[in-house]
Structure 1
Amino acid sequence: MKRQIEETIKQALRIGLYLTGKNKSEENTENSLREEDEKIVREVLSKQNIENKLEQYNRLNSNIEESWKQWQVTRNRHTRIIRYREIGIAATIALLFAIGSYWFYPENITLAPVHTAQIQAGSFKATLYTGDNKVIELKENMQAVLTQDSSVVVAHNELKHSAVTGAPTINTLVVPKGGEFSLVLADGTKIWLNADSRLKYPTSFSGTNREVELEGEAYFEVQHDDQIPFFVKTSQSTIRVYGTTFNVKAYPDDSFQKTTLETGSIGLFVDDKEFRLTPNEQAILNPSKDVEIVKVNARQQSVWRHGRFLFANERLEDIMAQLGRWYDVNIFFVGTRARELHFSGEIDRYEKIDKVLRMIELTTNISFSINGKTITITPE
């Protein structure tokens, strides 16, 4: 028995190194994950398997069951930001129990296969619809001059306009699900568009205002001009920009529109009433057009443009909507309870979808199943 327990501990430590990626930098081959360890990882990473095995193990010691319940209560009472190192630690502890029961009850377990090969993280891509009825597909790492006068070019995953004379035309840049792209307007304003977003804008600005229309999510770095103010229109509001950087999340199917100010000053107009924001404030607009202004870390709201997912006590339904847009998948909830669960965590946006889902499973009572490009969420 003692030898089995010691071996279990060694196995769990190796798995912890595997999950945190530390074994890649270790020269000692004893820390690398063996084939039989990987088999165990695949078996016990299933939350249902962990709970089933733990239940069997608890029959040997009722104190363990009580400790497990206390841990669950503590987990539900505190919101925790799960980072890579913490994930490895938490997973190692869970796996220690699960692997231990694996040795005590080595029955054969067959997990349902998960086919994620056709689910890919997003990439740089967009479609440009020009005012003269042209449709131009923009692809990752594409380099091209799109107009005869070289006023519109695409390079380094960015569409750039230069100031030109003559009457402007209205373009629309559409970023599909599973995409992202950036844009520089003729006045020097830079805009990053997230997946499933569209921006309508003029090829050059004239008159007394600069105005664009947004559906979806975008980060703005607006070129300051006291004489010609900049406006962003969404379906529910108008944002007046006084020279600043800010993030707007205005998807039609989201519960709220969120406007977050990073630097400078902006005014959110809703039914002719202006709400002024100062840096690190977020205006939350609900479907009834009520506005709540809260303090936030503004940089965290736009980490998506730096290739990160960051969830701060967000509803699972809203999180899955983000994942659905980025990975271009369909989301299906079994029942309504799981939709209202809250989750906090951070992970690389370019990770495989199954790793992102496992991170969520570690701290919520749900399970995921994938069939083609549909993800089903089931409460446990």
Structure 2
Amino acid sequence: MSIDKNWEMLLDYLESNQEKGNVLSNEELQRLAELRALVDETSDAFELYQSFNIEQKWIELRALGVSRGFTQPSPIVKQNTFKPWLRIAAAAAIVVMLFGAGLFYFNLNNKQKKHDQLAYKNDVSPGKLGATLTLANGKKIKLADAANGEIATDGGISMSKTADGQLVYLIKGSTESEHINTLSTAKGETYVLILPDKSKVWLNAASSLTYSTNLNERKTRRVKLEGEGYFEIAKDRSRPFVVESKGQEVEVLGTHFNINAYSDGPAIATTLLEGSVKVSLETNLSKIIKPGEQALNNDHGIDVVNVDVERITAWKDGGFALSGKNLKTAMREIARWYNVEVVYDPSISDELETGGWISRSNKLSTVLKLIESSGQVRFKIEGKKVYVSK
């Protein structure tokens, strides 16, 4: 009997016995039929199916409980029954399982590729180094377009742009007058500022820092932040460093900390990495936090919590730290960096969380695919809009 005839007998038998408790589904039957194309090519397959009566042996296989991946034999059948062909049956079952899994992933990959082609045909490049410096006289300098070297002077202060994307202030003469400057980043931009006292500030996308060029206001080094910034403050016990943001002040002498004060966030988050800071509200409420702690100002008070500081400052180091982060919070960060608008389907819950870590140097599609891999949401990019659905 030919192998084709054997296969036909097997398939006919299984199909005719669906009503009698056959354990294979219609989908599995289809996969089994497609497997024939593979085994037909081997001489071993011919010998294997010639070696036993298909109908009888399939009944025995089902009785032994091996028709779904070679499980343990049924208690009603002795374990040493059919030893001569049990190994062959097990091997055949494994082949069917492997083929089924391969077919499943092949179909899944094809569906994923089709989705990617449609969803990410309008990909978006990552943000870049860039910012705008606004001088006291109102002049605006786009740093991405400015040549490296000195770009402006203000009284006794020189402002220079470095090749690696930093704006550096140097004191060259008398600094009696207080001229106000603002460094601002648009969506999709980030920049580093070195103030006259050697303090260093990283500005995240869609943020700004306003300060006097001599950094001396009533014997206080005072700046105003909108958005997000990471600060490494030079020590100067005679002049505290104060960061104002949305009705809050953070006062330090010398330390490393991060402030997230975006207007679309639920709270101002001040995270301490080194030293100590005092967070004060306009209501005169204040709290001192320690390294590894975060002060959350939600307009009703200050809550202090312990956090993973590396996740908080991942943006400064060129990454998105998404593990355990609320999806919509993560998408706000992503939207600012890629300068896109996020549109949610009503079915998307506010409680969903993301996972993983990924570089901000990737294109938008790569970041979204990482989030998609959780199976909770799907994305589609159309122009400068990202649509989120289930």
Q: Would the TM-score normalized by the shorter structure come out above 0.5?
A: yes
Which residue type is aligned with residue 165 of structure 2?
N
| CA shift for structure 1 position 364 | 4.1
Q: 1:16-35 alignment to 2 at 5 Å?
A: none
1:356 aligns with 2:364: no
CA distance in 1 between partners of 2:284 and 2:244 (Å): 13
> 1:153 is matched with which residue?
160
Greater shift after overlay, 219-228 or 131-140?
131-140
1:284 aligns with 2:289: no
Q: 1:190 to 1:60 in 2, by over 3 A?
A: same
> 2:22 is matched with which residue?
none
| CA shift for structure 1 position 297 | 2.4
Q: 1:289-368 alignment to 2 at 5 Å?
A: 289-335=300-346, 337-368=348-379
> 2:285 is matched with which residue?
273
CA distance in 2 between partners of 1:97 and 1:129 (Å): 64
State which of 103, 117, 123 in structure 2 corresponds to 1:100.
103
Which residue type is aligned with residue 158 of structure 2?
S
1:260 aligns with 2:271: yes
CA contact (8 A) 2:123 2:364 kept: no
| CA shift for structure 1 position 318 | 0.6
1:242 aligns with 2:253: yes
| CA shift for structure 1 position 352 | 1.4
CA distance in 2 between partners of 1:344 and 1:302 (Å): 16
Deviations 1:223-282 (A, max 9, x none): 111111110000131111121000001100012221100000101102211110111111
> 1:28 is matched with which residue?
none
> 1:189 is matched with which residue?
199
CA distance in 1 between partners of 2:264 and 2:310 (Å): 24
Q: 1:204 to 1:374 in 2, by over 3 A?
A: same
| CA shift for structure 1 position 56 | 5.9
Q: 1:116 to 1:260 in 2, by over 3 A?
A: farther
Q: Please give the secondary structure, in 1, of the residue aligned with 2:278.
A: strand
| CA shift for structure 1 position 344 | 2.4
| CA shift for structure 1 position 118 | 5.5
Greater shift after overlay, 108-117 or 330-339?
108-117
Greater shift after overlay, 108-117 or 257-266?
108-117
Q: 1:50-61 alignment to 2 at 5 Å?
A: none
Q: What TM-score results when the alignment is normalised by the length of structure 2? A: 0.68
Q: 1:335 to 1:246 in 2, by over 3 A?
A: same
How many residues in Structure 1 have an aligned counterpart in Structure 2? 290
> 1:64 is matched with which residue?
none
| CA shift for structure 1 position 294 | 1.1
Which residue type is aligned with residue 371 of structure 2?
I
Greater shift after overlay, 145-154 or 318-327?
145-154
Q: Which structure has the larger Rg over C-alpha atoms?
A: 2
Q: Please give the secondary structure, in 2, of the residue aligned with 1:314.
A: coil
CA distance in 1 between partners of 2:212 and 2:245 (Å): 16
| CA shift for structure 1 position 324 | 0.1
CA contact (8 A) 1:140 1:157 kept: no
CA distance in 2 between partners of 1:223 and 1:105 (Å): 55
CA contact (8 A) 2:123 2:365 kept: no
Q: 1:56 to 1:358 in 2, by over 3 A?
A: farther
CA distance in 1 between partners of 2:223 and 2:108 (Å): 63
> 1:38 is matched with which residue?
none
Structure with more contact order per residue of length (Cα contacts < 8 Å, sep ≥ 6): 1
Which residue type is aligned with residue 104 of structure 2?
S
Q: What TM-score results when the alignment is normalised by the length of structure 1? A: 0.70
State which of 126, 130, 151 in structure 2 corresponds to 1:125.
130
> 1:14 is matched with which residue?
none
For structure 1, the residue ranges without an aligned partner over 5 or more in a row are 1-54, 62-95
Which residue type is aligned with residue 361 of structure 1?
E
CA distance in 1 between partners of 2:328 and 2:148 (Å): 38
> 1:172 is matched with which residue?
182
Among all aligned residue pairs of Structure 1 and Structure 2, give the percentage whose two residues are the same amino acid: 29
CA contact (8 A) 1:118 1:373 kept: no
Deviations 1:310-332 (A, max 9, x none): 12311111100000000111101
For structure 2, the residue ranges without an aligned partner over 5 or more in a row are 1-25, 33-98
CA contact (8 A) 1:314 1:342 kept: yes
